[in-house]
Structure 1
């Protein structure tokens, strides 16, 4: 009985594998895009915070030098 259950289970898994794989790939793609978007947003915010004051100083010096 156990071997028959194993074979049936293996058949079911082999038939469902393409369907399950397709669902996982679609979901993973959305998650990957969300992670990339979050990473880009963090980089932009960090860049503005780090370079914001320096850029202000550079433009102020350039404006007052003429």
Structure 2
């Protein structure tokens, strides 16, 4: 039992999962903070796309 606990506390195989989860949390936080600016940029891009589609032959 003692060896199992030593190995369990020294095992770092789950660290990759924790890092990925932290990165996702940070990205979600940034999206929430800059939500209005992101919406403005996306709306502008779609307006440009729709206005240019009539010019394509």
The bucket for the TM-score relative to the shorter chain is 0.5 to 0.7
Given the alignment of the two structures, is residue 33 of structure 1 paired with residue 33 of structure 2, yes or no?
A: no
Given the alignment of the two structures, is residue 42 of structure 1 paired with residue 32 of structure 2, yes or no?
A: yes
Q: How many residues align?
A: 39
Q: Which runs of 5+ in 2 are unaligned?
A: 41-57
Structure with more relative contact order (C-alpha pairs < 8 Å, separation 6 or more): 2
Provide the alpha-carbon RMSD of the alignment. 2.2
Given the alignment of the two structures, is residue 11 of structure 1 paired with residue 3 of structure 2, yes or no?
A: yes
For 1:15 and 1:23, locate their aligned partners in 2 and report how far apart those are by CA, in whole Å: 11
Deviation at 1:29, TM superposition (A): 0.4
TM-score, structure 2 normalization: 0.52
CA displacement 1:4-36 (0-9 Å, x = unmatched): xxxxx11122123322xx123211100000000
For 2:9 and 2:17, locate their aligned partners in 1 and report how far apart those are by CA, in whole Å: 15
Larger radius of gyration, structure 1 or 2?
Answer: 1
